[in-house]
Structure 1
Amino acid sequence: MRYMATYDLMETVRNTNAWMGATARTMASYPAFSMIPNPAIQWMAAWGEVTERTFKRMVVKPDWGIRTMTCEDGKDHLVNIETVVERPFGDLLHFNVSGRAEQPRKILLVAPMSGHYATLLRSTVKSLMVNCEVYVTDWHNARDIPVSAGKFDVEDYTLYLVDFMRHLGPDTHVIAVCQPAPLTLAATAYLAGEDPDAQPRSLTLIGGPIDPDANATDVTDFGHRMTMGQLEETMIQRVGFKYPGVGRMVYPGLLQLASFVSMNADRHSKAFNDQIIRVSKGLGSDHDAHNRFYDEYLAVMDMPAEFYLSTVERIFKNGEIAKNEFVVAGKPVDIGKITKVAVKTVEGANDDISAPGQCVAALGLCTGLPDDMKASHVEPGAGHYGIFAGKSWRNNIRPLVLDFIDQNAGTPRKSAKPAKAANQNVA
């Protein structure tokens, strides 16, 4: 029962706030109140509507919302989201556009397991679907996974990626966004040593902590400041009786969300106050800018405790990827064995989560890769989300990434002699 009471307490608080919002909205909607117009009643209805929606969507997995796409023939084609590999902790999805010829670019988009669902990459997927076959890792909410499914840590995550890459074949181009960047690099190196013919054509790492110590942020400082005992005691809870994963040890999504919000509390507070005012004036709508953003931002998922703790300990504290000392299933993973997979890194100049320097460190680890198969790009003025989902991605980064993919889409080269230094010029 230890840790379970706090999990259920957080869920109780969330439920109570959703109920209070629904109650305020319903009470303020009585026709009798309309007989005497009162701004306070309108404000109460608006507060209730915003509050109810805010707390309800915290436990709902967002829909991809990608149903059709207009192709070069000028017609709208249905988009079928198909599960091609099904696993207990995550599936491999394919966004199959009906009636369209198979696209020459096959892309595996590795989504983060960092508190949000893979749908956080919705705009990234939509932008790539235009002329690519897109596959996405869809990680499951740990609260819904029975204890009987076993553990899931950074090594298991890496092996999942290995299986997904093997399934898709060697003509795949992999793009890893944020948290999975170091583990995707490790998975590629694992294949280089164990199954070289299954390696992808190219690997693009976007805003990931390959070497967290290369440029410190609040995230890396927190990882070093807290001991593993403190993290386990304060961050880990046991899923309550409400969900199928009852008893599983997790890092709760609601706790992660509290951390997210606290980093920019003033901005979030202003956004919600402004939204209440808009709704009270009748200017809000179901899919306005506020709701589009927060429907995704507030939808959080629980992470398996062993995954969260091993990420902090092995990636951030011990720097096993940065030191090329990572081990998977008892086998050392040598990143220097990557000799025929082109590698590109993308960073945002204003990224305060994975700061510039952390991701480009991957190129220095690829000692077996020729310099002309390495590239990097630092996007001026871009923050963390902008480098994979914002204007910077659409206008600048996506074209660069697709050009890099096209340049390395041919038959892979034979293994080359280790390169002396990484080429870190802007692509």
Structure 2
Amino acid sequence: MEKMDHTPLQQEILQTVSLLLVITVRCCSSPTRCGLETIHDVQRVTEPGDLMLGGIIQLSAFVKYDNSDLVQRGWTIHRSSQPTAHYLRHLLAFMFAVEEINRRPDLLPNTTLGYTIYDVCMLEDLAVQSALSILSGVEEPVPNYSCDQKSKVVAFIGHLDSSPSCSIAGVSGIYKYPQISYGAMDSIFSDKSLYPYFYRTVPDERSQHRAIVLLLKHFGWSWVGIVVASEDSSQRSSMELHKEIIQSGLCVAFMQTIKKRRKRELEFSKNVYIMLKTSCSVVLFFGNSRSVFDLEQLLYRKFNFRKVIIFPAIRFSYNPNSLIALNRSLMMSPPRRDIPGLREYLLSAGPHKYPHVQVLSTIWKNYFYCCVGNASKNYRPCTEKDLLSQVDASDYDVNNFANTFSIYSAVYAVAHALHDLFSYKEHGQLQSFRRSHQPWKVWDKSNSS
């Protein structure tokens, strides 16, 4: 194994991060190496290549908490989620970009990109666990060691949300690996003294704050309320917008935080009650995709809800209840772009095209009621006619690419940085890069391009 160099301070940080993983330390055969026995089974997709991209994305939604597991495993919380077609577009766009780059003779010639992509939903601890696994080159992470001598990880891509992106940066930044988020808009990432190796293919959230203020002024909404989840990113964003609203001459009726409690539904019910009783007709909501889902479930029961809810650019998977629960609401959205060839690629995806991608097996069961291979009690065998083109456009939009374009651009950003780096080297640069791989060189080239 190849040992990664780091300072004593970085070692201390790594140890702290490892504790937050809720993992059990298990010594390996060598006394100088220890593996981290993970308690979460994280789904992944792998494609070999000369140079590897580490993808940490959200493919699943609707996280469920099973507190019965607390009795058997102390304070560990078991989580379960299901992949959705809405987020599947991000995974397929990642794969499409890599395939496209590997076919191009003018970009990274004689070099193939590969990837290891983990689905961590929107959970911070799974993001940390996956980052450690990618750095180790094995599913069961070995901190501070790279167990894969054939392929080198050159950069991280992810996450969609700010909180998991911050968790990834806490690990990748120790070893100076560049990280590109395709959805994190938190303004804190613009501070290069804190996140020197962090990039993103979406704008800073300050731009949408200005857009929200202009929207409020346009409709004459001068008396608004703010409801915010307890996560750090949402808290920061709401405070910055609160300041922007006050400076523009508008007024904030209330600012309510949804606290983290075991009885989460009760906490949301209290905030919905406040929203119903307030005299203001407009409420701004700040939270992650899970918070929106919880709010949606409560609003679905309140058919007389007469407030206008404005959301920032929150990414979440729509369902039939959304049309009823989120009626009269407005949501900011990143610019939509076109990606030549991706639409056809998405429409042609199906079980027969990806028979060995285990993470997609739930997709086929949920949308086609089929399974790859032999039929089971509840599912028929998948056929070549089972294509994602049959999925409703409200859940699988192949015509409008926002964050889908962002993750596609993130892959290309790394590829162009590598290409520029190799352009300054002599022949045989790939083997030289493997032997003396320093991830900060990719960052340095991206930073100067």
TM-score of the superposed pair, with normalisation by structure 2: 0.30
TM-score of the superposed pair, with normalisation by structure 1: 0.31
Structure with higher helix content: 1
